[in-house]
Amino acid sequence: MMIESLKELFNRDLKKLKHELSLYQDDSTIWKIENSISNSGGNLCLHLIGNLKTYIGNGLAKTTYIRQRELEFSAKFVDREEIYKQIDETIEVVSDGLSQLTEEDLKGNFPIIIWEKETGMGFTLMHLHSHLNYHLGQINYHRRILEKG
Higher local confidence (pLDDT), 34 or 65: 65
On the question of pLDDT at 110 being above 80, the answer is yes
Listed as own residue / partner, the contacts of 142-149 with beta carbons closer than 8 Å and 24 or more positions apart are 142/37, 142/39, 142/40, 142/41, 142/44, 143/20, 143/23, 143/24, 143/29, 143/41, 145/37, 146/29, 146/32, 146/34, 146/37, 147/24, 147/25, 147/26, 147/29
Give Cα separations from 129 to 35, 40, 94, 100, 122 (angstroms). 28, 20, 11, 17, 11
Band of the pLDDT at 29, cuts 50, 70, 90? very high
Mean pLDDT of the chain: 96
Range with lowest mean pLDDT among 18-27, 29-38, 51-60, 93-102: 29-38
pLDDT at 149: 54
- CATH no., domain 2-147: 1.20.120.450
CB atoms within 10 A of CB 129: 18
Note the pLDDT tens digit of each residue in 51-100: 999 999 999 999 999 999 999 999 999 999 999 999 999 999 999 999 99
DSSP state letters, 42-100: HHHHHHHHHHHIIIIIIIII-------HHHHHH-----HHHHHHHHHHHHHHHHHHHHT
